[in-house]
Every structure is written in structure tokens, then in C-alpha cells.
Amino acid sequence: MIAGIHRDGRQERKRYLLTDNQYTPRDLRRSTRNAPKVESGEGNPGKHGAQRKKTAKTGGEPGAPGNASAEIAGGKRAARKRATHENPGEREAGAKNVGRNRHEAAKSGGTKFDAHNKSGRGAAQAGGGKKTVLGAVEDAIKITGIGAALKTSDPNSHLLKLIPLGGLNEIGKNMTAFEYKDDILIVDCGMSFPEDEMFGIDIVIPDFEYLEKNSRKVKGLILTHGHEDHIGGIPYLLKKLRTPIYGTKLTLGLVESKLAEHRVNTDLHVINAGMKFNVGPFSIEAIRVTHSIADALCFAIETPVGLIFHTGDFKVDYTPVDGEPIDFLKLAEVGRRGVLLMLSDSTNAIRKGYTESEQNMETVMEDIFRNTDSRIIVATFASNVHRIQTIIGTAVKFNRKVALSGRSMLKVLDLAMGLGYIKIPKNVLVDQNAIKHIPDKKLVLITTGSQGEPMSALARMADKDHRSVTIKKGDKIILSSSPIPGNEKTVSNVVNKLFMAGAEVIYSDIADIHVSGHACREELKLMLSLIKPKYFMPVHGEYRHLHGHAMIAEDLGIPPKQIFLMENGRVLEIGDGKVSVSKQTVNADPVFVDGLGVGDIGTVVLQDRKLLSESGLIIVVATIDAPTGRLVSGPEILSRGFVYVRENEGLMDELRALVSDKLHRFERNGKGDRNNMKNVVRDELRSFIYKKTKRNPVILTIFMEA
């Protein structure tokens, strides 16, 4: 069951029934205890009902003459209003003072405010009014606890802090935090792929240190859509802190699968486009946008300091596959409300024109299918539900069966079918183990691996390591995606292997078999024109993308001083209708995930791995008598990745002789300092090896004591 949130404010549990073509994960069941507060319009009696109850208890309006309790309550509310910035300790002290006043007033039949007013008036009439009245005011301030609050209030406590923890000057790892007083709202929590020099790293995630330190403030995580660069870091975040998550059905279905893999859980709350809900002091409106995945949203976030708009990833697709175009009317309404700050996707900010519609892929696919009599293999992102629907629809049109390969592909398809995002006629899907019984001209295989990932299904096919599929001459393979920056080399390697196996490969360099999910320059101009923000911050892209987007905003009339090119970890302060860069920074360095290790690999280890990959390793092993320093056995020289020993025995003998000579000199001189011995041997070897080979291998010395 999924916790549903509806416009009328009610919470409902809805059971999704299984049919022949529908499936929904049984595990998508979460408590609605922390479901967001939904705006219910005029029918919401909460605030006014509470006020009526409060008035009934006090017996009159706050501050009414002769009503001691009401007057004290009014004074207390006034104190709160005037002392907006007081800290919790001072607030507690002020409350205690008011409580003590209420007790004394009950005993005397009046209030201390009355007493001070009377004494003030009397003293003034007696000629000492000025000093006495001031004293009375000071006493009144002490009574309400306002004085301490005014003296120690934090001038920045009313500011909203915007903290980008990922997604700036990089592709992926998108994550932004909004902090106001004791509340933090997070937008997205993604991951990114490792760069070429990050040897052995599986994925890269944001640094959660700041959020972990302020975990009690974190009120919720809202998700724009279900791509890995926006949800891939969630399991790692939930291992540090617990927070409810808000997203659409498809997005939460993908998240649920990840949480099950990592054996973590939290409260998941379903939201839909057009819905308004509250997380802490933030009032959020979800608005439909189009992207390369279904159920994508942007957010209009009403904060205590003003309206902030976050586009998420988007493009302007007038003819989307699912028939749900971007909600221009709602975007225009948000713009008319007055947006203080806008954060916008910058991935395609340096590309001119418009991004093509996803429906164009249907024509491209039909042309390829029409001219192919052999087996067709299409590699695409598992999360690109619309693309998968297009491929399946084209296969049905040309009377081909469809098989799926890749664990994530199977998982996403099950989820999308269950939630109704993909529709497949009966008897079209076949198991990949049964494809050998189907003629090649009647088969389409949809697989993962469009980015050349080493363990993906397509990469294993290229390496002839797939258990069910062997690439053969005549196969037509379509890579229906563009390489993510940094993945170009791995994609190229896979393409080369496929060609070598005899396949015909269609990829982005030779055909238009992919459309982007991100807005190009003209679409970005349209979004800026609709929202009309006072301040602008480009997000989601490398620096060249952010800079290009900033130039677009400047061309549309936003002053350069109101455009912020930020870095991860830099903080924006927002308040009093203004936005500025704070002096405060938070740690936002990338965190590397290597196997089960999270964050235990740093730059030093990566540098060592880089050195090992470039020049290899030399290991020196010797046994030395501890009391005398005499060489007992060795030295042995081991090479790993430096030279092939059997073909360089002469060099290895020279190295062995050099180390032996140095150790014997230490023995004759009676110097037994092991650290000094290691340093001298290492330096001599490094100098000798460089003269002989012009290489700098890593040298490891191991001296054991007999």
C-alpha cells in the first residue's frame, strides 16, 4: 500500500490490484504517520477552531480589562512577537517568568502589569515620573523575558540558508539543502559515476557531514524524479539519519527498491503534480514537467523569507509519450506570485535551439526496424520508461517479440508495468533464456549498458561473457543514449568490441538515435521568462554549463550581481528580499564508495592507486638479525606492474646487488636504525631505477627481524 495525499487533506491507503498486465511491488508500504500537511483551502477549520478554543478558555479576548489570565496570555504573545530571534534557552526563561507572574496575579487578584502601571502613574504625578516610569518599563521587560532576548538575539537567525551539497561544477550527485532556524528541507540526493582516475571507486555520493551534525533539524527529503543522479545517494543518507521522503509513485518505487537492497527504510509519502503539502515551515507545490523519465516534478517552495522555485531536470516537450505536457499555466501562476530565487537545470545550457520531442524516437526506431531482417538489440537507460515504451510499441508494430536483459531493466519494467507507466500486449514479452527458439528477424532485445558500464549486460555480451546472448554477425545493435561526460572511453571500448564480433552498431556519432531529457537554450529562456525571478542560481552542470546559463539569464535582463555561480559547500543567505553569498561554508567534498566502504577512501589512497597504475610496484624483502644488524637472508626483489621479471633478470640482479651492498654497509658501520635503513635503500633504488628505465615505481621495503 502507498500512503496517498489528497487535496481535501485526508490520508488514504490505496490497494493496487494485480491484473494480467499490472504489477506493483508489495514492499511499497509505508506509514502515513508523518504525512505532510496538505492545504485544504477554505474548509480547513484548524487555525480558527484553535483560536476559538483558546478564547473560550481565557474567558475573553487577550488583554481585556479585568481578565488577568487573558492579559498575561496577551503579554506572552506580544513578547514572542517582539522577541522573534530569541534562542530556546531564553525563550524558556521568559516563559517561566510569565508563568510565575500568572501565579502571583492569581494570588493578588491583579497583574504585575497593573501594579507597575499604577506605581508609574503615581510616581509621575509626584514629580519623579521620568525615572520611575523608565524603571517600571525595565521591570516589565524583565518580567516578560524580552530584555535578555533582545540583548542576545542572533541577527542572522531570520535568514534562510541555501546549501548546495552536490550538482555544481559536475554532472550528477545533485543535492541541495534549505535551512531556516531549526528546520532543514532537502531536495534530491543523488550519486555520480567515478572519473577515469578514481581507480576502484564504484560510485561517488555527497558528503552528509553537515546534515548528520544537524540531523534533528532535517524534516524531509523531496525528490524531483527517479534518475540515479537524484536518488542514488538516498540509501547512504538514511544510514546516517532518518527522514521522511516525498516523491511520485514511480520515483518512490525506484527508491523503495534501493532501500530494500541496502536494508534500510523510512516513511515514503506519495505526492502528485498539482499537490500542495508542508514540510516543517516550508509550503511546497509540486508542478509537472517533462523529462526523460516519467513523473518528473519541479517545486515552488514557499519559505518564511520568500518564494523559491527549483526546476529539477526538465525539457519542454509539447508531445510527450505519456500525453502529460509541462504545466505552463501553473508555471505562469508561480511567476505572477513573485519568485525571489530560481534554481534551474543547466545541463544543456550551451546547446542552441530546442530539445527534440521523445516522440521523434518513434519515427527513428520505425525506420531502423523496417530496414532490418536480423536480430535487434537496443541498449538504453533502465529508468527511461518512455524510451522503453517506444521500443516495445515499435516491436509490436513490426511483429517482433521482446526480451529483456539486465537486472535493473527487469526491475524497472516490473515496477513501471505495475504502476501503469508501460503497457505491453499479452504474449509479447519472452524470457531471455527462450530467445534461441525465436527467429532473429522476429526478436528485439532491450538491455542495459548504454554507458559502457563494465558489469552491464551489453558489456558482458561484448566480452562474450553473457550467459544467454552471444553477439553474432548480422546483429544490429542500437545504443539509444548519449555518453555521459566521463564515460566516452568506456562506451567507445564496448562499441569497438561489438564491431569486432561482427555486429552493426548504431550510436550517437553516426545517427540521431537519442534525444536529451534536458532543456536547451531557448527552453531555458522560456522558463526564465515564465518564472521571472529576482535572483537566479544555475545548478546541475559543469562550470561551463552554469556559466552559459548565467549568460542566458543576463541576456534576459537579470543583473549580473543578482546571478550566483556557486560551488558545492558555499552557502547563500536569503532574507529581507535579498540574496547574498555567506562567509560560511560546509564540507561538500565527494565521498567515494568502494565496495562496502563508504568514505574510507580519500585522495591519498587514490593518488597511490594512480601511481601504482602508472609505474607499478617494487617490493624489497630482507631478514636482519636484530642485535647485530647482520643480514640473515635476502634481499628478495618482487615486481608487480613494473617489469616482466623473466625478461629483465639482469635488471633484477642489479637491484638485488644494490640493496645487498647497502645493507652490508649498515652492518659494518653498526647502524641498526631500521627506519633510516629503509629510507636509504628506497632512495638508492629510486635513483638507480630512474637512471636505468626513466620510471618511478612505488617502492615498498619490508625488513623482518630474525
Catalytic residue numbers, as ranges? 345, 518
C-alpha cell at 607: 593518488
Neighbour tally for 111: CB within 10 Å: 22
Locus of grid cell 498486465? 21
Q: Give me the count of residues in the chain.
A: 706
List Cα–Cα distances, 88 to 148, 182, 281, in angstroms. Answer: 12, 10, 17
Which residues sit opposite 175 in a β-bridge?
Answer: 166
Question: CA–CA separation, 347 vs 38, rounded Å?
Answer: 33
* CB of 235 closer than 8 Å to CB of 617: no
Grid cell of 318 as nine digits: 509539447
CB crowding 232-254: b at 16 or more within 10 Å, else e? bbbbbbbeebebbbbbbbbbbbb
Cα distances from 230 to residues 187, 313, 704, in angstroms, run: 9, 9, 51
| 584's grid cell | 560560511
The set of residues, in sequence order, having a beta carbon less than 8 Å from that of 285 and lying 6+ positions away, is 275, 276, 299, 300, 301, 302, 330, 334
CB 445 within 8 A of CB 375: yes
Is there a cis peptide before residue 635, judged by omega within 30 degrees of 0? yes
Strand order in the sheet with 698-705: 631-640, 617-624, 698-705
| Residue 611 buriedness (CB in 10 A; 0-12 / 13-18 / 19+) | middle
The amino acid sitting at 479 is L
User: Which of 527, 174, 520 is closest to 348 using CA atoms?
Assistant: 520
Handedness of CA 513, 380, 20, 13 (dihedral sign): negative
Distances (CA, A) of 642 to 160, 200, 318, 615, 683: 55, 20, 58, 6, 17
Residue pair 706/632 in contact (Cβ under 8 Å)? The answer is yes
Residue with cell 515496477: 415
The radius of gyration of the chain from alpha carbons, rounded to an integer in Å, stands at 34
d(Cα 355, Cα 464) in Å, to the nearest integer?
Answer: 36
355: closest CA among 298, 316, 322, 297? 316
**163 strand-pairing partners:** 177
The label of the residue with cell 529576482 reads 534
